Structure formats: C-alpha cells, structure tokens
C-alpha cells in the first residue's frame, strides 16, 4: 500500500488519495485531472514550485513507478512534507517532527527560565502550558508505536518543564513532581489520547471514518476476554492513522460519566531516590562505612603505639608543643592551654587549680586578682619573692629555725600602718642598723624607751675648746654628764661639781 499526500498552499485543504491493491495509476491520473479541472473552474492556479509529494512505503525506499503529472507539472517525491504543522517522512518514523518539537520546546523553556524571578506561580504555569506542554499535546496520537529513544526526547522536555515550574534541581527525581502536577508521562499521554479517540469513535462522538475502522472483539468460544470490551487488532495496515488504532491492549469503557473512585484523603507523594542515583547513594554509604572502619583501625593502632591505656597516665608527646583548645557551641575559642619547651601558656577568663581531696581552690587567677588558697605560700629561691606593686597580707612568717628578711637592695623599705606598727622579739634582740642617721619621730605622741638599762654608745664628748686643740687634762675621765644641744643632739660632757653642759660646746657648734 502507498499513500500520496498532495499539499496545495493555494487551497484551504489538502487532498489525501490512496491506492489500494485494485487501484492503478490510471485512477490516480484521473483524480488529478479532476482536481485540475476543479481548480480551473474555481479560477485558481496551482503553483508547481510549491507542490510537495510524499510517497509512503514500508521500507522507505523510493517506489519504482512513474508518477503522473498534475496540471502539466511533474510530481517529484519529497523526503518530508509538512501538513498541519506536522512533519511527515516516507516511513512515518516522525524523527524530524520529534526533533523539531523538542528543539522548539527547549528554546521556549530557556526564554521562560529568564522570566521565572518576575512571574508568580500561576502565571508561570500558564506560560509553560501555553508555550511548552501544548506543543507536546499537539497531534501526539501520531507518536503511537514510535521507538523508545524518540519518546525519551519528548519526555526530557516534559521533565525540564516540571522542574522549572516547581523549582526543583536537576538531580531531583521527576516521578513525584509529575504526580504533584497531575501530568502523565509522554508514553502514557499518547496511549490516553488514542484511547480517547477510540472511546469517542465507538460512542458516536468521533469521526465516522474512525468508527467504521473499529470492530469489537467477539471470540468464537466463551473466553474471559469476551467481557473485557476489546477491539480487533489491525494487521497489514500502515501509516499514522492506523498506527494510532493498532493496539492489543485492553481499554475500559465507562458506563457512567462520574464513576471514577475518589479518595477521601489527599494523596501524598514522597520524593524518593531511584535508578543510578540510588546506586550512587549505596556506593557512597559503602565508601563511608569503609572509611569509618579504616579510621577505627587507625585509632586503635595509635592508642596501641602511643601507650594510651586506662590504668596508666595519659601521655601526649610532640616535637614542638601540645595545644588543647576549648570551644563553645558556636565554635568560638574560649580557652587554650599550650605546653611548649620554653613555657606553659594558658589563655582563658579564669584559671583555677583545685584540690583533689575536698575540691578547695588552691590557686585562681583572673584579670582582677590572684587568689592563693593554700595554707602556706613558700618561696624557696635564693632571691626570694619580688613584687612590683603593693602586697596585701595579714601575716608574713618564716620557716621554723629560719630568719625572716625584708630587704630593698637599691631603694628604701617603707612599712606603713594607720593603726600602728609593732615589732617584737620574744626571745632575741631587735637590731636597727643604718649607714647614716637613724630617725625616731612621733608627730603627736612621745617616744617611750622602757628597759632595765638604756645604753647609748659612741656619743661624742663635748668641750669648750676647739676640736683640733689637745685636751689639757691628762687624767682619765670616768663620769660624764649627758647634755642636749638646742638642735636635740646628745653629747657627753665631763662631770664636775656643777653642770658642765654649754651651748657653746664644740658638738653643738659643729653640728
């Protein structure tokens, strides 16, 4: 069987002529002459340059026949023709039509993607339905029986449109998205369109020529398929029209208009992982499991090599230093302890050393003060303790049988107390030694010396003569009189029958 489609741009319709086994080229020539006569009677002229002829065959090879002329113009077969915006090829594989549909749909999707930030969801859905999905629905019954690789091209367009409408990434599985949008996949959409045509043709809502081509299947004996409303399959037919009707699958005839079951609760379509993504996920899980096992083995090996045991002390060794950091829940550094070859540094708000027995704080330091909670502070160095500023303590005591020494090597030593300073020696002596002068001063009270004996050694001996003149007395003086100069200086004067103290003594004059 061969079909010849003549597309006439000057006429509002196309003429489809078929040659059955009992037809001949003479009948076709008569039909073309009749059409040419009708054109002349209608005062129309066919343009031979725009006339397209398509010869359909099973193998796609050119028929070995000579086509008649049409109104004096030879008919030359074309590799493909366009009828109602559908590209037809000699074997009706629809490759050019599928490629053109996918190319134009992807072009529209690229343009729509630029408008996504400026469109609402309802407007975006309307634009996608108008420019993309309408192209997939147009004459899709002609795609019935096409190879799967061509259906995948159209399915890729539908998947891209669904992801663009819902804002899904490229790696997201598409089946839940199609369920949410209530979109049938392209293969099922083609089946649905063919079944709708068959249903309308059987119930008088479709064209008559389609109803005449459908025959209900009546088995010769009682079979279960006799009550399933099947159709007789076509054999030996070819072409886009019969491809849409060649089906052995069962279809259900609706006896009522609203007999579809309705769910009481809305269905939820969870998003899952399938196909190669699922295999990749399994591979990454296996890789993670292997990595965990290797890390566990390495940890056990490190614990064994570095002698990490529960019974013994924890030992951390490093060629440079060991640093321990403490962080809060936000990842910020709150404390740091660094143990190096030269020093041990601790950076924190407060540093404490507590007793392991009762938890008492032995040492604590912060920005304001340093507190030593031990019973005794002992400094064993030869230089003692050096303080740059004041030291506040109620008690300073040396070890038993040891001396307590307060010394300022280059400056003065000052002891101040608003309520008095007491220096006592219960057993030994108190000795105050200085290089120059020793001053004892009381601004408001008195200086009280209470002892069984008071000794003032090395007091100078005063006389009326000058210090350079020799003494006239050759006898040894044993009794002296204690004299006080006007400036408060004490000196000894040889005792006599009367007072020998003179204000003009050399001691008072030279002081």
Query: Which residues neighbour 317 within 8 Å (Cβ) at sequence distance 6 or greater?
Result: 306
Better pLDDT: 142 or 468: 142
| Burial environment of residue 273 by CB neighbours within 10 A (0 to 12, 13 to 18, 19 or more) | middle
CA atoms of 474 and 399, how far apart (whole Å) = 55
Q: What is the C-alpha to C-alpha distance for residues 258 and 309, in angstroms, rounded to an integer?
A: 77
pLDDT digit string, tens, across residues 346-378: 888 888 888 888 888 888 888 888 888 887 777
What is the reported pLDDT for 64? Answer: 61
pLDDT above 70 (res 41): yes
Query: What is the average per-residue pLDDT within 17-32?
Result: 62
**Of the ranges 225-239, 461-475, 496-510, the best mean pLDDT one:** 496-510
What pLDDT is stored for residue 71 in this prediction? 73
> Would the pTM count as exceeding 0.85?
no
Q: What is the pLDDT of residues 145-164, one digit of tens each?
A: 899 999 999 999 999 999 99
Per residue in 170-207, pLDDT (tens digit) is 888 999 999 999 999 999 999 999 889 888 888 888 88
**Average of per-residue pLDDT across 67-71:** 76
Residue 161 CB coordination number (10 Å) = 24
Q: Which helix (H) or strand (E) holds 57?
A: none
Contacts 24+ apart (CB under 8 A), 461-465: 461/491, 461/492, 461/493, 461/494, 462/491, 462/492, 462/493, 462/501, 462/502, 462/505, 462/506, 462/507, 462/508, 463/493, 463/494, 463/505, 463/506, 464/502, 464/504, 464/505, 464/506, 465/506
In this predicted structure, the answer to whether residue 455 has a pLDDT above a threshold of 60 is: yes
Q: Residue 328 pLDDT more than 80?
A: yes
């Amino acid at each position: 069987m061969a079909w010849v489609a003549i597309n006439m741009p000057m006429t509002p319709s196309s003429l489809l002529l078929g040659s059955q086994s009992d037809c001949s080229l003479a009948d076709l020539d008569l039909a073309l002459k009749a059409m040419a006569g009708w054109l002349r009677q209608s005062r129309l002229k066919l343009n031979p340059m725009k006339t397209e002829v398509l010869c359909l065959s099973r193998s796609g090879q050119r028929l070995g026949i000579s086509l008649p002329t049409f109104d004096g113009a030879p008919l030359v077969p074309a590799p493909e023709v366009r009828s109602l915006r559908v590209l037809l090829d000699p074997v009706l594989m629809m490759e050019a039509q599928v490629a053109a549909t996918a190319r134009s749909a992807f072009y529209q999707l690229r343009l729509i993607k630029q408008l996504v930030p400026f469109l609402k969801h309802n407007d975006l859905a309307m634009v996608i339905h108008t420019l993309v999905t309408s192209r997939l629905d147009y004459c899709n019954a002609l795609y019935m029986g096409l190879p799967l690789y061509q259906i995948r091209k159209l399915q890729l367009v539908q998947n891209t449109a669904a992801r663009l409408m819902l804002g899904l990434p490229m790696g997201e599985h598409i089946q839940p998205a199609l369920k949410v949008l209530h979109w049938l996949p392209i293969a099922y959409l083609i089946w649905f369109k063919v079944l709708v045509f068959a249903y309308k043709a059987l119930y008088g809502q479709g064209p008559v020529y389609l109803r005449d081509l459908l025959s209900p299947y009546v088995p010769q004996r009682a079979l279960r398929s006799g009550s399933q409303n099947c159709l007789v399959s076509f054999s030996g037919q070819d072409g886009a029209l019969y491809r849409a009707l060649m089906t052995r699958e069962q279809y259900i005839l609706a006896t009522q208009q609203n007999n579809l079951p309705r769910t009481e609760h809305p269905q939820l379509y969870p998003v899952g992982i399938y196909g190669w993504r699922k295999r990749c996920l399994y591979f990454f899980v296996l890789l993670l499991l292997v990595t965990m096992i290797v890390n566990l083995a390495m940890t056990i090996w490190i614990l064994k090599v570095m002698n990490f045991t529960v019974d013994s002390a924890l030992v951390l060794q490093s060629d440079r230093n060991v640093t321990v950091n403490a962080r809060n829940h936000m990842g910020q550094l709150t404390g740091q302890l660094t143990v190096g070859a030269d020093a041990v540094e601790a950076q924190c708000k407060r540093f404490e050393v507590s007793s392991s027995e009762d938890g008492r704080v032995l040492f604590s330091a912060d920005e304001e003060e340093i507190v030593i909670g031990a019973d005794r502070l002992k400094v064993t160095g030869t230089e003692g303790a050096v303080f740059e500023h004041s030291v506040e303590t109620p008690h300073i005591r040396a070890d038993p049988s040891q001396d307590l020494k307060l010394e300022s090597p280059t400056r003065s030593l000052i002891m101040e107390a608003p309520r008095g300073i007491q220096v006592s020696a219960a057993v030994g002596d108190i000795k105050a030694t200085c290089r120059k002068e020793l001053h004892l001063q009381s601004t408001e009270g008195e200086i009280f010396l209470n002892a069984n004996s008071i000794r003032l050694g090395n007091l100078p001996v005063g006389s009326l003569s000058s210090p350079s003149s020799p003494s006239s007395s050759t006898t040894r003086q044993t009794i002296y009189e204690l004299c006080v100069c006007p400036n408060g200086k004490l000196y000894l004067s040889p005792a006599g029958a009367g007072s020998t103290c003179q204000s003009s003594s050399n001691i008072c004059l030279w002081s």
